[in-house]
A and B are shown apart, each in its own frame.
Chain A
Amino acid sequence: MAPALLLVVSCLPAESQTTSDLLNPLFQGILAQPANFNNALQYATQAPASDIESAISTYEQLLFYNPNLASVRFELGVLYYRLGSYEMARSYFDSALKMKDITPALRQRSEDLIADIDKKLQPDQFSGYVQSGFRYQTNAALGPAAGTVLASGKIFNNTFAARPDGNWFGAFGLNYVHDYEQQNGNTFEASAVGYDAQQFKLHQFDIGVMELRAGPRFGIMSDTVTGLSIKPYFVATGATLADAAYYGGLGGGLTAHIKLGDASLDPYAEIVQQSFRNLTLYPLASGMNGTLSTVGLQASGPVYGSLGFQSRVTYAHADATFNPFGYNAYADDVWLPWNFSPLGDGRTWTLTPTAGVSWWQYNAPDPTINPFTTPDILEWRLGLGLEVPIWKLLYLGMLAQYRADVSNVSAFSMHDFSVTAGPTMRF
């Protein structure tokens, strides 16, 4: 009896029902008059933001009506891609390419996404970037103004005072994923990031950094939740300063990956043992030796239209051999990549405003700088990046950044404006 009653309820007029889709006249229109394809089209174009499967159903209905349309096939490819079914997405993109009405822009996007899918479907997947170029900074030292007077009445060492300089730099980022092709999605992941800058004049600030991270990722609760995984990892970092070995860090961490619709959350916690080497120009560096513990959250996803976001929020605690060098730090950075195609050829330009703030609270006054005041530094960062596609994987990357440190200890206050430009290859 109950099922019959429920079925009767399902046939009641829309006004008496509370489920939004049953109140949706477009959905009711499809049920009542499916041949009204303008109604179906309107429903499909409104559905994707909140309901991928409804959009799929409706576009597949339209594909029944006309299987020759590249745009319908492309749209279905996009929707299956968003569902994570890359094989279905690929079959639709492939078939879109075979349609006579495909436009150059749609062909370009289809080919780009097929290339991306082909990478995702490989057991061994590589992605990354290589970049080179020039950078000009108004304050290459990231130091205070020349002539800054310390609490002791002495003058800040001019070798490290604010001075402009340019540099040549090279940078790369490489991500590797090995997919074990198991139901739970277990993978092994590794990434490397490198940066090297050679100053034109101020060689005491020549710096090179390399960081490696690697670890296995385990899909968990895959029988109840999709897209949840955890990854223990190790991290190793090395840096040179003034062309001499300066810093090494070794540690590990644990991160999780959570999918919430189109957004991703990656909380993490890591501990790194830091070791600094005293150099002629940096005789006090070993005082910073100690443990750096960090907890953070990285997130990314769409915002609106073609605007996306990536963000990172962290809290870090650094122990140091010399207690005044230890600190607690809070930091937040946001990137807002906005994709657009001003030439209408399907190739995507990316404009990325960035903003960040950090707050360092040091453990104790530094007797050589100011024996009476515990340093407290608030840093603001603003930037604007632009990537312009040049040819295939090659882009021209440009970045303008402003950074200002405000501190209760004058030696720690500084500001710097930098402009970076150079070719970038993304793969």
Chain B
Amino acid sequence: MAPSRRFIVALVVAFSSALLAAASAAAQQVGTATAVNPLSESTPPGGATAPLVVGAHIVHKEKVHTTPAGTVQLLFTDKSTMSIAPNTDIVIDEYVYDPNANSGHMLVSLTKGALRFVGGQLSHQGEASITTSAANIGIRGGTVTVVQGPNGVKVINVSGIIKIVNGAGTFLITRSDFGALIQGWNTPIHDLGRIPTADVAFYQAHTTSTFGENGGVPGFKGANIGHCGLGSVPSANCPQVPWMPSDGGQLDASQILGNATNFGAGQITPPPPPPRRNPGR
């Protein structure tokens, strides 16, 4: 009897441990690798470094590394995404998201390279941050490109409000396409103003596939996508060269003329001129 009881207890303990371990592993999944160009690697906490593949679960504290040829897109459960350029190292330091309360926070370390972060629920609440060697970058409601290079950290605000904090102070980028450069933790944050088109295009091109790559998913040949690019009817959501009424002057003129007719004019027909006297009478 006793061995049997010990066996049952051992079984229960083993099963419970396995369940807890599985729950813990599942709980730590914070996102998915949605596109991967080799060679990109990841290192889960306590695990070995392995090539990253499409569909791989990204977990809390995971390190992601791209080689000089690798690029990756990560999708998080709050709908934010991160497009990671070649030669980049990041760590998902913290990620908490409660979908019921729609709250939480995320913190990602960028130690080398470049990434573009497209905001989701957490950034809309100002709860997404990227930390670098030179500054902490808080993202509110937006999209940002961050580059950790040899000359410091460059931040390009794509949309939203970006709050940069380091040992020398705080700086806000509130305007799209504007940027800042931070050369060290105790160096004042330098306002770069509007970022040149060529720089924006450079980082855009380096955070996606190059020609010939397929992000690990072959076979996408295109489709009738969206409602702006194809079809004969452009939507009002699609940007148009702004239309403005061209009857503004005419409306003003009609208003003035209407009032002139109603009030400015002598509205009563002038009396006819008096008849001439007959000089002969």
Contact = CB atoms under 8 A, between A and B. Distances in A.
Interface stretch (B6-14, B85-93, B243-251): B243-251
A141 B236 contact: no
Contact of B213 (A33, A67, A106): A67
B219, B240, B256: most-surrounded residue (chain A CB, <10 A): B256
A326 B222 CA distance: 65
A359 interface: no
Nearest to A14: B99
Contacts of A208: 253
A181 B194 contact: yes
A21 B174 contact: no
A145 interface: no
Given A7-B60, A57-B79, A226-B160, A35 B55 contact: yes
Contacts of B98: 6, 9-10
Interface string B244-277: 1111111011101111111111111110000000
Contacts of A32: 32
B137 to A, nearest CB: 15
Interface string B26-63: 11111111110100000000000000001100001000
A113 B121 CA distance: 30
Interface in A81-96: 81-88, 90-92, 94-95
A250 B263 CA distance: 21
A407 B72 CA distance: 71
A157 B99 contact: no
Contacts of A281: 265-266
Given A48-B237, A116-B239, A207 B257 contact: yes
Interface in B197-228: 197, 200-201, 204-205, 208-211, 213-223, 225-228
Contacts of B35: 34, 61, 64-65
A265 interface: no
A208 B45 CA distance: 77
Contact of B217 (A19, A35, A54, A121): A35
Given A34-B55, A57-B75, A284-B264, A18 B204 contact: no
Interface of B: 23-24, 26-35, 37, 54-55, 60, 71, 73, 75, 77, 79-81, 83, 94-100, 102, 104, 118-121, 141, 143, 158-161, 172-178, 191, 193-195, 197, 200-201, 204-205, 208-211, 213-223, 225-230, 232-250, 252-254, 256-270
A12 to B, nearest CB: 9
Given A9-B98, A31-B32, A81-B239, A209 B249 contact: yes
B34 A223 contact: no
A243 interface: no
A292 to B, nearest CB: 11
B120 A83 contact: no
Given A66-B222, A411-B267, A112 B54 contact: no
16 contacts: A35-B216, A38-B223, A48-B226, A49-B237, A53-B119, A75-B226, A88-B200, A95-B201, A105-B230, A152-B268, A207-B253, A246-B260, A282-B266, A288-B264, A306-B233, A306-B238
B208 A63 contact: yes
B30, B95, B174, B263: most-surrounded residue (chain A CB, <10 A): B263
A306 B261 CA distance: 40
A173 B249 contact: yes
A64 B256 contact: no
B173 A285 contact: no
B100 A41 contact: no
A136 interface: no
A290 B32 CA distance: 69
A350 B220 CA distance: 36
A241 B252 contact: no
Given A34-B35, A88-B158, A308-B243, A209 B256 contact: yes
Interface in A337-372: 337, 339-342, 344, 348, 350, 352, 354, 366, 368-369
A34 B75 contact: yes
**Interface range, A side:** 35 or more
B222 A411 contact: no
A205 B259 CA distance: 12
A61 B73 contact: yes
B204 A88 contact: yes
Given A6-B97, A157-B265, A183-B174, A195 B252 contact: yes
A245 interface: no
Contacts of A403: 254
Interface string A153-191: 011111110000000010111000000011111000000
A78 B238 contact: yes
Contacts of A269: none
B226 A71 contact: yes
B227 A31 contact: no
Interface in A126-144: 127, 129, 131, 141-143
